[in-house]
Structure 1
Amino acid sequence: MKLCVIIPLCALFTLTHQVPSQDKCVCDLTNSAKAFPHDKLSTVEDNASKCNGNVTPKKTLELESLMLGLERRLPQLQEDVSVLEREDDGELYGVLSLLVIENELTEIKQLIDKLNMTSQRHQQLTTDTTEQLEDLRAKMAELQEYDTLQVVKRQQANQRLKRDLDQCKNEHQLIPHPTQPPQGICPHGKFVNVTGPEVYTPGEYPGSYMYGAWGRDPKPAVGKENWYWLVMMTSSNRYSNYVRLYSSLSSLIVGVSTPGNVLIHSSNPTTNTVQGPNVVLYGDALYYNCYNKYAVCRFNLATKTITTMQLPEGTRFNSKGNFCHLDECYQYTDLDLATDESGVWVIYTTTQDFGNLVLSKVEEGEQPTFNQTWHTSVYKQAVTNTFMACGVLYATRYVTKEVEEIFYSFDTSTGVEKFNIGIFIKKISPNIYSLNYSPVDQMLHAYCNSFMVSYKVLFE
């Protein structure tokens, strides 16, 4: 039996190897479908990318900021005209009031000119974008004919389903508010949210100075109630030697500085000039980290005099105790100055506190001092910014390039700390290098990669 099996297998093996090689079978495959136009798809992708680059939220905010500046400027003009009318003695108007109105009209004209130019650019952009989108839609309809397996159609159906599910889910979620709002005595009520941005402008020097700060004086001198201030780090992104003043928000938006710069010193940097972007203006005086010192300087804009307040031994300075997130630390942010309804505060850290935030209140006077100090349990380099509102310290942290979170609070009236605030700030640029609260109008003024941005603080 075994022999009978072996013989046929050997014969088959021999026969297989004796088949001539020229008898191989060859098949021709003919595809009746049209070849996919890869070059056309590549063109559509390039055009879509250009369209996305041309239309950005920043351009919309630019127009909104100009409108806001004009909206705030016109009532001021009306008020000044009323003052002028009251000064009429039948023969002669007040010369000074006429000069003020002339300057205001010049600024308003510049603001309107910039608004018209921006509006025209946006109209042209809208027209161009509409034409591009129609062209893209037509080309994509042509390309969809090649989708014989209907893959794209199924993906679109899945996207619609996912969108409907997300919408259904969001409708049943409450707007995020603090789980337990900070308890403190505040004339406005409890701090519950931040909206905006409401102002977004590159100012006079678009893209020139990455670090800086801006805002309003909560305790302005007479005649400076509507002024805004700006301090830019003009040397190595670290130092500055002047504060720049603007007579109104519209002046700041269009980049017309009146009365201009107030010099701290002719050299930059040098003794008692500004180090780091976290500065504030209060009572017509600039408070900031003195150059190369663990001390706070107060520069009086009227008298041009400087007084210093020494911080405790062991205070971190010279970029050793910065605000940070996982990817970056903000250089020379060791000291953060803040203002609220009660005055000026300084936020810092020391070696004795193992890098945790320390908060001190500035006692005003001819020689300012630190009145009281509080110690917290939040690590400074886990924080990206701080600000004060109604005697409560708030700290932020980096979430994404588009979102910053106010996650922490410390109530100086009760000593209670909270780590679950959960208020989110919509960012225009990835990094906020300074954040100041203005008790005058309950706004947060942020300086972000050379742009000035403001947000509205909502109280319950």
Structure 2
Amino acid sequence: MQNVKASHCACELTNVEKPFPKDKLLSIETSAAECNKNIQLAKVSEEASLRLGLHKRLLQLQDEVSVLEQEDDGGLYGAVSLRIIELELAQLLQLINKLNETNIMQENLGRNITVNVLHLRKELKQLEKFDHMQIIQKLEENKGLQRSLAQCQEELQATPPPPTPPPGSCPHGRLVQVDGPKSSSITEHDGYHYHYGSWGQDPKPSHGKEGWYWLVALTKSDTHANYVRLYTSLNALMVGKGHTDVSIDYYNPNTHTIQGPNVVMYGDALYYGCYNTPSVCRFNMTSRKVTTAALPPKSGVNNKFPFCHLGYCYVYTDLDLMTDDSGVWLAYTSAENYGNVMLCQVESGHVPKLGRTLKTSLYKRSATNTFMACGVLYATRYVDKETEEVFYSFDTRTGVERYDLDIRFKKIKANVESLNYNPSDLKLYAYSDSHVVQYDAIFERGI
């Protein structure tokens, strides 16, 4: 038998590519773990706790100052109370300093983490060069497709926004409670406090002004003003910083000057009573132009039919401009209607005009304010220096009037010179003896 030797074939494989830097990947993983470890959740929790504690102490101090202002002890305990408040302020200052130190630490930590993350991203980009099969690129494309698919599904399943309800058909139901005050601050113009004015948010703001607030203070003998002050946030308004003044007319006063505190803003336009003229003025905040809508003949203006209580009247409150879900409304009266409130909607257009007038049995001088919510007119009256009451309603859809609401709320000061409802956040905006005050409007379907 013949032996056959088995033959072997061998070849040499040469890899022209650079070897994958496994050590570099491990180094990146280690650095990423260190970044996660450096984000100190305890510090973040400490900052949140400090903020919450500071907020509560400020509210407590506000209550103590309010009690001190209302006390009349003949100076017996005033010095002691002031000393206690002085100690509270010192403790608040310590809290603020500690919060500032924590914020500085967080900023430094954030900067360091940002630098590390940018470095890691750069190194990962270099490692992507070894992905010859473009797996990472395909994964990113798949993620993009998944996001687009999810967005399409959301759009298909999204519920269309409900149509604007007709007047009197409120989706929230009737008003049952006014809760607050939720926030308050004293207004200051050039070092002086002005008792009359109004403030709030535009329920239909122009693009980019969704979070803005406006303020009008009657700076001329509590009767008229010539500009509106704009703030980019509620905090800015509360501290009185970072505002922009928009003048209506440089000649003050004239027929375009604001008269009376019952002013509102809607659709980037300011609505108010024209100075010494039986008309409603609309000031366009963009074009800076004024257009007017004339009142019916013999309408009460120039302090003939103001809001009143117990022998005291709010001067030049003959016209009350209001906003609700459907737009701008006007409450006014005349001698022909025996001083009872009349109501109409201010229709928008190139030139505003007044819609159909509805007559009520509410005697205007028996109320201190009116406001609209879903086509329902509500009226308030003075109970005492600490309490106001929503006592009346008129449904514009059914014509039903009620005098038995008995919805009481606490006041910051004795008088409320203007009060208006904002349908976008369901809040009431009050101007009370130089103070801007915010309340929650609670409806029966929201409780």
- Find the counterpart in structure 1 of residue 77 from structure 2: 48
Say if 1:231 and 1:242, in contact at 8 Å, map to a contact too: yes
Q: Would you say 1:336 and 2:320 are equivalent positions?
A: yes
- Find the partner of 1:427 among 411, 433, 438: 411
Q: Would you say 1:459 and 2:443 are equivalent positions?
A: yes
Aligned Cα root-mean-square deviation (Å): 2.6
Say if 1:244 and 1:257, in contact at 8 Å, map to a contact too: no
Say if 1:207 and 1:450, in contact at 8 Å, map to a contact too: no
Q: Would you say 1:235 and 2:220 are equivalent positions?
A: yes
Quote the Cα distance in structure 2 between the aligned partners of 1:274 and 1:190: 32
Deviations 1:227-265 (A, max 9, x none): 00000101111010111000010110111133x111100
Q: Would you say 1:218 and 2:203 are equivalent positions?
A: yes
Quote the Cα distance in structure 2 between the aligned partners of 1:401 and 1:271: 35
- Find the partner of 1:262 among 227, 246, 250: 246
Q: TM-score, normalised by structure 2?
A: 0.63
Structure 2's unaligned 5+ residue stretches are 1-72, 97-113, 115-120, 123-166
- Find the partner of 1:366 among 326, 335, 350: 350
Quote the Cα distance in structure 1 between the aligned partners of 2:366 and 2:396: 21
Q: Secondary structure at the match of 1:331?
A: coil
The alpha-carbon deviation at position 371 of structure 1 amounts to: 1.9
- Find the counterpart in structure 1 of residue 127 from structure 2: none
Deviations 1:327-383 (A, max 9, x none): 310000000000001000000011110100000111111111112210000100111
Say if 2:203 and 2:266, in contact at 8 Å, map to a contact too: yes
The alpha-carbon deviation at position 318 of structure 1 amounts to: 0.5
Aligned length: 298
- Find the counterpart in structure 2 of residue 317 from structure 1: 301
Counterpart of 1:208, as a letter, is: H
Quote the Cα distance in structure 2 between the aligned partners of 1:428 and 1:184: 31
Say if 1:216 and 1:227, in contact at 8 Å, map to a contact too: yes
The alpha-carbon deviation at position 51 of structure 1 amounts to: 4.8
- Find the counterpart in structure 2 of residue 440 from structure 1: 424
Q: CA 1:49/1:240 → structure 2, altered by over 3 Å: closer, same or farther?
A: same
- Find the counterpart in structure 1 of residue 16 from structure 2: none
Quote the Cα distance in structure 1 between the aligned partners of 2:302 and 2:396: 27
- Find the partner of 2:233 among 235, 244, 248: 248
Say if 1:219 and 1:283, in contact at 8 Å, map to a contact too: yes
Quote the Cα distance in structure 1 between the aligned partners of 2:83 and 2:381: 30
Say if 1:295 and 1:308, in contact at 8 Å, map to a contact too: yes
Counterpart of 2:77, as a letter, is: A
Say if 1:204 and 1:256, in contact at 8 Å, map to a contact too: no
Q: CA 1:45/1:373 → structure 2, altered by over 3 Å: closer, same or farther?
A: closer
The alpha-carbon deviation at position 208 of structure 1 amounts to: 1.4
Quote the Cα distance in structure 1 between the aligned partners of 2:83 and 2:336: 51
Quote the Cα distance in structure 2 between the aligned partners of 1:231 and 1:46: 37
- Find the counterpart in structure 1 of residue 364 from structure 2: 380
- Percent identity of paired positions between Structure 1 and Structure 2: 52
Say if 1:341 and 1:439, in contact at 8 Å, map to a contact too: yes
Quote the Cα distance in structure 2 between the aligned partners of 1:197 and 1:236: 27
Structure 1's unaligned 5+ residue stretches are 1-43, 68-84, 92-182
Quote the Cα distance in structure 2 between the aligned partners of 1:378 and 1:55: 48
